[in-house]
Chains A and B, each alone.
Chain A
C-alpha cells in the first residue's frame, strides 16, 4: 500500500460501502481484488465499510446442517472447519483468531441443536444463529487478510449496528429468518466508527432483534445489509460488486442486444428489480432512497465496465422506457358477476377469501362485471389444492375462471403514460394474442400485460426491438443507455468477420458509377455453401432460388454440389438456363400452383411437393403411381413462438397434420407414394436447439406413414442483422440433427436454405440525391427506394446502411434514409446515424443478397436495379 493509504482522513471524510457476494470472497485472488478496491477508495480520501457474504456454498451447507441429526451436523461442521482453514492458509495467514473463534462457537451451537423446551420459538432463532456464522467467518477472515496486507481493517459486528424492527403479524419464523431493519442516518454512530478507524469489514445478512439475539435478513440479505449501512452512515454511495455489470434493458439471456442501464432513479430500479431483474434484490433500494444514498452496481471481474448507477433522477433525461421484463408461471383468477361489484363490501368478501387461503394477490384488473387478479407461482399454489379450494369458495359468490400458465410482461419507465402514443407497434404485437389483463400502476412507472405463457418465447427480443424502433426505449441517449450485453460479454469482435465489402470498397465505389445497383460477392456464397456441405447430418442441400436467381449464383452453387428448390416453372427455367446447373437435383415446391404447372413438372419427372388435398382429389391422374413429397403444417403447437408462425391456420402453407389421414387415404387409393415429409420451421431461426424437436415430430409422423425416406426441414437458417446479434451456430445445428439421426436412422435429412446462403453476399449501392429537414427529422434521399429493395417496407426488415464515400468518418447525423418512390412507406432505414452526407455520396445497404433484386419491381416506372458480380 502506498503512503496515501495511511495519510489521516479529514473528520468529515465521506463513507463508501462496498458489498461483495459469496464467489467474490471464496478465493485468495478475489480477496486481492477486494483489497485493491477498498484501498483505492481509502487512498482517495474516503472511509470504507466492506460488507461480505459467506463463502460461496457455505450458507447452503449451514442451512442443510440445521435440518440434520446431531452426528451429521458435527461432520458438516468439520467440513466447514477444513474449508475455512484451507482458505486461511491459502491466503498466506499463519492463523486467524477471528475465524477460530467463530468455528468454535459454531461447534458449540451445532452440538446443542435447536430443540429446547420451547422448540417452536427457539428453532428459527437457533437456525439464524447457526447460519449467521457464514458471514461471521468470512468477515473475520477478510479483516485479518486486509490488515496483514497493508490496509488496517477493523472487524465490525453487524449486529451492533442493525436492529430488527417489530413488524406486526410476522410469525416467529419470519421474525428470525426474514427480519427487516429500520435504517435511518445515524450521525452519532458514523462518528463513533470514524473515531475508531478508517476501514471496516462487516457481515451481510445478519442483524439483532430487540432481545439482542441474532436474526437474518432473508433472501438478498447481503445487498440489503449494504443498503442499511449506506443509510446509517449516509454514505457517499453503496457499491454492489457482483458478477454482472448492472441492470439491463431486458434479461440478457433472452435479449443479447439488451443495453446496460447506466442511470436509473430509485423507483425505476425498484420496479425493474421487482418485475424480473435478479441482479439486485428489490428490498435494498428503499433504505438508500430514504437516505438519498446512491447505489452503484459493478462487475467484480470487469471493474472497467461502467455499471448501473441508481440515484435521484437526472433532470435533463428525456422520458424513456428503461426496461422490458417478464415473469413466468403466473395464475390468473377471473371473477365475473353482474352488478355485484357495486355492492358495499363485495370486493372485501372476495379478497377475504384470498387471505383465508393464504394467497397474496399481485396485479388487479377490474371492470363493471369482472375482476381479475394474478397470483405468483409458489410451491403452495402448484402442489396443494389451494386453487381448487379457493375456486370452490369463490364460486358461491361469482363465476370463477382459473387461467394459467400466464406470463406478465412489464415495461418500466418513469412517465409511462406520456409514452403511450409511441407504443402502437408494441400494442399491435400483443394484439395478435390473448391479453388477459393489462395493468398500469398509479405510480406511472409500469405497464404490464398478462398473456399466455407460451407466447413469451421469442417475444422479449421482438418487443425490445420494437420499443427501440418506436423511439420509446431511447437507446440513442448515451447518458442512460450503455453498451449491449452482447458487446460486453458476447463473442468478442475479433471473432466476427468484418464484412467483405469493407475490403472491396474501392471496387464497389467503382461499380457505383451506375446506381441503384446490386453487387454480389461469390466467395462469400461459396464459403456458406461449403459450410452447409460440411454438415455431417445433412444429406442434401437445395438452394431456394427465390432468394436470388442470378445465373452467376446458380452456376457457383451448382458447382459447389447443391441442388435447387424452385417454386414455379419460371424458376425451373432459370436453372435450366445455366449450363452447369442442368444436371443438379431439383425440387419443385409450389404453393397454390395451377394444375397445368403440376402436369408439366410431373411429366419432366421432377421431385414435387404437394401441400394440400386438392391435387390428389381432382388431378389424381397426374400423380398416380408416382412419388411425391408432402409438406405438412405441424400447427401452432403449444409454444407458438414466432419461429412457427408460418404454421397454423393463418398460414396458407402446408397440409394441416390433422388431415394427414385423408391425404394418406387418397394416396393409397391412387397408388401415390410419399417419399418425403417437409415442414418449414419458420424463418430467421438463430437458435440451434429449435431443430431437433420439430425434426423429431416429423420423424415420428413419418414412421406411421411408412415408405418415407426423406425429411426435408426447409430453410429457416437465420442471418443476424442487428449489430451484436450472434450468428447461428451451424455446428450446434449439426450436432442437434445428428441426435435426431441416431433416433431415426432411416431418414435422409434435407435442407433448403435461401437467405442464409446469399443475404450477406449482396449489397445494394445507391447515391445520395438530396437531403431535407422537416421538423426534428433530417431526411436523406437516395436513388434506391422500395422498388429496388422492398424488405424494409414489407417486413420492417433492418438493413445496415453506411456511407461508402465516407466510410470511417464519425457518424454524427441522425437520418431517415428514404428513396424516390411516391409512398410514405418508402423508408430504407429510420433513425440511422451516418456521417453528414452530401449529394453524390455512395450509400451501401448491406445484407441485400437475398430477396432484394428478386423482389424488385418497376413501380413508379423506375428502371430495375442491375447487378454486378464480384468473383
Chain B
C-alpha cells in the first residue's frame, strides 16, 4: 500500500457519495485525493423498498451519510468540508454544523482543538419542499427501541409493553452483551451491522486525531433509515433529562460528553425528520422528562427480568459473561453511579447480588464516589447523572438502617453531609417528571407507566 498521507495535513474532507442496494448502505468519504473511506451499514433481511418510499429513504440516507461522516472528519479536522451528494438547504446545513461543533466538543477539548467557527457545511438555495409522502400510521404504533445493554432502554421497553405498543429492540454493531439483553425483552429484535472503513484504522495508526464522537446521532440516522425500510413509525430513545447537562465548561464552550443524547439534538433532528423525511415519523426520547433517579427507580420495579444480564459499565459495553464481575468492573463512574442510584429503590441483598459486591462498603472507592457527588473533584467524562442526584441518593441511604453503616455511606453521613446545603437533598422531587420533552401524545401512557412503576 502506498504510504497514507496524514489526514491532519488535508485541506478538505469530502463526503463523496452514498448508495443503498440489497440491504447494504455504502457511505464513502475521502481526505483530499486520498483513498476512499467506505463505511457499510447492513440491514438484515431488509424488505424491498416500495416505490413510494424511495424518495423518503434517499433523503434519510443522505443525512446518514453526512452525520456518520463525523467519525472520519475528526481524523483530520481539515478546514473545508465538501459534499458530493447535492446541495443542502439551510436547516440541514445548520444541523450538521451544530453536530460537528457541539458533538465533537469533548474530542476537541481532549485534543486541544477549537472547532468553533471552523465548520461550515456548504449550503445552497434549495427549491421548496416537494411535499413529503405521509408515513402510514394505522393501528398500534410500531416502535424501534434502540437498546444498549443498560437499564435506560429497558425501562423504555417495559413502558411500551405496558401501553401495548408493537416494539422491536434494535441495536447497531456486534455485541454479545446487548444480544443477551435483547433476548430477555421477549420482543422481536433487529441487529443492524456497521462496519467502519478499515482505512480509518490505518489513519489512526499514523497518528490521526481520535476521540469521542456523537455516536447517538449516528445511530439515530441509521434508525431513521431502518424505520423507513422496515415500516416503523416511531423511534423511542432512552435519554434522560441529565443528558442535556454540560459536563464542563472550557474556554467559554459548554462541553457535553453526551451532546447527541441531549434535548437540543433531539429537537432539531426530530424536526428535521418531520420536514425532510416523513411528517409521521416520531423521533423522541421517552425518558427526557425524567431524572436518572426516576429511571433507576422504574428499572428497579420493572426490570427484574434483566437483573442478571444488563450492564451499564463503561469498561465493558459489548462483551458479557455469567458472573457479575464479567458485566460490572466496579471501578468506573458508571458502575458507581448505577449502584448508587439503584440502591434507594431495591432490596439491598438483590442489588448486591447484581453487582456481586458492595461498592459502598469499600474505602478504596471513596475517590470515585467523591467525583460523582462533585466533592473535591469535577464531574468525570462519562455518561452519569447529575451530582445533585447522586447526593440525594446518598442522603436517602444515610437514613436507611440497612445502609447507613456501610463505609462510604457512614463517611457521607459524618463527613460530607454536614458541609452540604440540606435543601436540595430530598429524593422525592427527583422522581417527578419535569421539563421539556418531545414525547408524542400517543405515547403519553408510557410516561405514566414509568412514573407509576
Contact = CB atoms under 8 A, between A and B. Distances in A.
B191 to A, nearest CB: 11
A395 B330 contact: no
Interface string A377-393: 10001111111101110
A675 to B, nearest CB: 7
Contacts of A835: none
Q: Which one of B316, B330, B364 has the greatest number of beta carbons of chain A within 10 Å?
A: B316
B347 A697 contact: no
Contact of A742 (B174, B304, B331, B402): B174
B205 interface: yes
B189 interface: no
A705 to B, nearest CB: 8
Contact of B323 (A383, A385, A457): A457
6 tightest CB-CB pairs across the interface, nearest first? A706-B210, A696-B319, A639-B325, A391-B402, A391-B401, A395-B401
A402 B328 contact: no
Interface string B318-338: 111111111011110000000
A707 B350 contact: no
A723 B315 CA distance: 38
Interface stretch (B260-268, B354-362, B440-448): B354-362
A700 B195 CA distance: 17
B175 A743 contact: yes
Query: Interface residues of A toward B: which range?
Result: 35 or more
B136 interface: no
Interface stretch (A187-195, A569-577, A687-695): A687-695
A457 B315 CA distance: 21
Given A391-B401, A657-B315, 17 more contacts: A383-B347, A385-B347, A392-B401, A392-B402, A400-B401, A403-B358, A404-B353, A405-B352, A457-B325, A689-B322, A693-B321, A695-B319, A699-B318, A705-B210, A708-B204, A743-B319, A746-B201
Nearest to A675: B205
Interface in B222-242: none
Contact of B329 (A391, A400, A457, A634): A634
Given A388-B347, A454-B325, A457-B323, A639 B356 contact: yes
Contacts of A387: 347-349, 402
A663 to B, nearest CB: 14
Contacts of B331: 635, 637, 657-658
Contacts of B173: 743
B402 A696 contact: no
15 contacts: A388-B348, A394-B401, A402-B348, A402-B349, A405-B352, A405-B356, A638-B328, A638-B330, A638-B355, A639-B323, A641-B325, A693-B325, A697-B319, A707-B208, A744-B318
A452 B198 CA distance: 45
Contacts of A329: 349, 353
B94 to A, nearest CB: 28
A704 interface: yes
A405 B207 CA distance: 46
A638 B201 contact: no
A403 B361 contact: yes
B371 to A, nearest CB: 10
B26 interface: no
A740 interface: yes
A709 interface: yes
Interface in A360-416: 377, 381-388, 390-392, 394-395, 399-405
Contacts of B348: 387-388, 402, 404
A700 B320 CA distance: 13
A709 B208 CA distance: 12
B406 interface: yes
Contact of A638 (B175, B329, B350, B402): B329
B349 A405 contact: yes
Nearest to A406: B352
B405 interface: yes
Given A707-B204, A709-B205, A740 B352 contact: no
B400 A391 contact: yes
B320 to A, nearest CB: 8
B356 A453 contact: yes
B196 interface: yes
Contacts, number: 158
A8 interface: no
Interface string B300-327: 0000100000000011111111111110
Interface in B109-149: 111-112
Contact of A740 (B205, B314, B319, B405): B319
A669 to B, nearest CB: 9
Interface in A319-351: 329, 331
Contact of A388 (B174, B358, B400): B400
Contacts of A404: 348-349, 352-353, 358
Interface string A557-580: 000000000000000000000000
Nearest to B74: A706
A705 B111 CA distance: 11
Contacts of A29: none
Interface string A665-707: 0001000010100000000000001001101110111001111
B444 to A, nearest CB: 30
B325 A400 contact: no
A402 B445 CA distance: 38
Contact of B112 (A668, A704, A745): A668
Interface size class of B (residues with CB under 8 A): 35 or more
A315 B391 CA distance: 64
Contacts of A696: 316, 318-319
A709 B201 contact: yes
A739 interface: yes
Contacts of A402: 348-349, 402-403
A745 B195 contact: yes
Contacts of A394: 401
Nearest to B203: A707
B212 interface: yes
B204 A706 contact: yes
Given A639-B323, A700-B318, A707-B210, A383 B329 contact: no
Question: Of A387, A394, A668, A700, which is in contact with the most chain B CB atoms at under 10 Å from its CB?
Answer: A700
Contacts of B402: 387-388, 390-392, 400, 402
A756 B379 CA distance: 44
Contact of A454 (B201, B211, B356): B356
B176 interface: yes
A709 B196 CA distance: 14
A471 to B, nearest CB: 33
Contacts of A392: 401-402
Interface in B39-97: none
A305 B117 CA distance: 81
B196 to A, nearest CB: 7
Contacts of B318: 696, 699-700, 743-744
A788 B250 CA distance: 62
Contacts of B319: 692-693, 695-697, 699, 739-740, 743
Contacts of A635: 329, 331
A639 B353 CA distance: 12
Given A696-B318, A697-B316, A707-B210, A637 B205 contact: no
Nearest to A385: B347
**Residue of B173, B176, B210, B357 contacting most chain A CB atoms (<10 Å):** B357
A319 B330 CA distance: 43
Nearest to A333: B402
A638 B324 contact: yes
Nearest to A709: B205
A484 to B, nearest CB: 25
A45 to B, nearest CB: 51
A697 B315 CA distance: 5
B203 to A, nearest CB: 9
B193 to A, nearest CB: 10
B79 to A, nearest CB: 21
Interface in A838-860: none
Among B195, B205, B315, B406, the one with the most A-chain Cβ atoms within 10 Å of its Cβ is B315
